A and B are shown apart, each in its own frame.
Chain A
Amino acid sequence: MRAATLGALAQVVVVAGAAPLLVGLVRTLKARFVGRRGPDPWQPYADLLKLLRKGTVVSTTTSWVFRFTPFVLVATMLVAAAVVPVLVTRPALSFAGGIILLMSLFMLGTFFLALAGLDSGSAFGGMGSSREVMVAALAEPTVMLAVFALAIRTGTTNLGGVVERIGSEPVLAAHPGHLLAFLAFFIVMLAETGRLPVDNPATHLELTMIHEAMILEYSGPYLALVEWASAMKLFLFMTLLANLFFPWWVPSETEGLPLLLGLLALAGKLVLLAAALAALETVVAKLRLFRVPELLSGSFALALLSVASVVLLK
Chain B
Amino acid sequence: MARLVFALGGVGGGAAAALGLAGVLGHGWTLEIPWLVPLSGLALRMDPIAGFFLLLVGGTAIPSSIYALDYARGARRGLGAYFAFVGAMAVVPLAANVVTFLLAWEIMALASYALVLHDRDDPAAVQAAWIYAVMTHAGLACLLAGMLLMAGWTGSLRFADWPAAAPGLGAPARSVVFGLLALGFASKAGVIPLHVWLPAAHPAAPSHVSALMSGVMIKLGVMGLLRAGLDWLGAGPAWWGVALLLAGTLSAVGGVLYAVVDRDLKRLLAFSSIENVGIILVAAGAGMVFRASGLETLAVFAIAAALYHAANHAAFKALLFLGAGALVHGVGTRDLEAMGGLIKRMPWTAAAFLFGAISIAALPPLNGFVSEWLTLQALLQNTRIPRLELNLAFAVALAGLALTAGLAVACFVRAFGIAFLALPRSEAAAGAHEVGGAMRAGMALLVAACAALALGPTVVLPRLGGAAASLIGHATPGVGGDLLIIAVSGDFATLSMPVIGLALAAGLLLPVVLLRLTRGPHRARLYETWGCGRLLQTARMEYTAIAFASPVRRIFDFLYRPEKRLEVEAHPDSRFFVRRIAYGNPTRALAEEWLYAPILGVLRLGAARMRAIQSGSANLYLIYVLAALIVLLVLA
Is B507 a contact of A144 with CB atoms below 8 Å? no
Q: Is B585 an interface residue (CB 8 A)?
A: no
Contacts A137-B407, A220-B521 given; does A145 touch B364 at CB 8 Å: no
* In the complex, chain B residues whose CB is within 8 Å of the CB of A77: 507
Is A96 a contact of B500 with CB atoms below 8 Å? yes
> Once the chains are docked, how many angstroms separate the CA of A79 from the CA of B29?
47
* In the complex, chain B residues whose CB is within 8 Å of the CB of A114: 413, 417
Chain B proximity mask over A67-102: 1 for CB below 8 Å, otherwise 0? 100111011111100100000000001011110110
Within 8 A of B (CB), among A120-139: 120-123, 125-127, 129-131, 133-134, 136-139
Is A115 a contact of B413 with CB atoms below 8 Å? yes
Q: Is A258 an interface residue (CB 8 A)?
A: no
Within 8 A of B (CB), among A270-314: 289-290, 293, 300, 304, 307, 311
Contacts A130-B548, A145-B399, A311-B383 given; does A118 touch B499 at CB 8 Å: no
Give min CB distance, A80 to chain B, whole Å.
9
* Interface size of A as a range: 35 or more
Contacts A93-B503, A137-B409, A141-B403 given; does A115 touch B417 at CB 8 Å: yes
Q: Is A18 an interface residue (CB 8 A)?
A: no
* In the complex, chain B residues whose CB is within 8 Å of the CB of A41: none
Q: Is B529 an interface residue (CB 8 A)?
A: yes
Q: Is A253 an interface residue (CB 8 A)?
A: no
Give min CB distance, B215 to chain A, whole Å.
23
Name the one of A78, A145, A216, A289 contacting B398, with C-beta atoms under 8 angstroms: A145
Chain A proximity mask over B402-415: 1 for CB below 8 Å, otherwise 0? 11011101101110
Q: Is A174 an interface residue (CB 8 A)?
A: no
> Once the chains are docked, how many angstroms separate the CA of A289 from the CA of B511?
34
* In the complex, chain B residues whose CB is within 8 Å of the CB of A290: 551, 554-555
Name the one of A78, A95, A220, A289 contacting B496, with C-beta atoms under 8 angstroms: A95
Contacts A156-B493, A220-B521 given; does A95 touch B485 at CB 8 Å: yes
Name the one of A53, A76, A131, A137 contacting B504, with C-beta atoms under 8 angstroms: A76
Q: A26-34, A57-65, A175-183: which one contacts chain B?
A: A57-65
Name the one of A104, A130, A161 contacting B550, with C-beta atoms under 8 angstroms: A130
**Interface-central residue, B354, B399, B521, B547, by most chain A CB under 10 Å:** B521
Chain B proximity mask over A36-49: 1 for CB below 8 Å, otherwise 0? 00000000000000
Is A100 a contact of B373 with CB atoms below 8 Å? yes
Residues of B whose CB lies within 8 Å of any CB of A are: 341, 343-344, 354, 358, 361-364, 369, 372-373, 376-377, 380, 383, 388, 391, 395, 398-403, 405-407, 409-410, 412-414, 416-418, 420-423, 485, 491-496, 499-500, 503-504, 506-508, 510-512, 514-515, 518-521, 523-531, 537, 539, 541-543, 547-552, 554-555
List 24 A-B pairs, Cβ < 8 Å.
A52-B515, A58-B521, A63-B344, A70-B511, A93-B499, A95-B485, A97-B364, A104-B362, A105-B364, A115-B413, A115-B416, A118-B421, A123-B542, A123-B543, A127-B547, A130-B549, A134-B555, A137-B552, A141-B402, A144-B399, A148-B395, A151-B380, A225-B511, A311-B388
Residues of A whose CB lies within 8 Å of any CB of B are: 52-53, 55-65, 67, 70-72, 74-79, 82, 93, 95-98, 100-101, 104-105, 107-108, 110-111, 114-115, 118-123, 125-127, 129-131, 133-134, 136-141, 143-145, 147-148, 151-152, 155-158, 161, 216-217, 220-222, 225, 289-290, 293, 300, 304, 307, 311
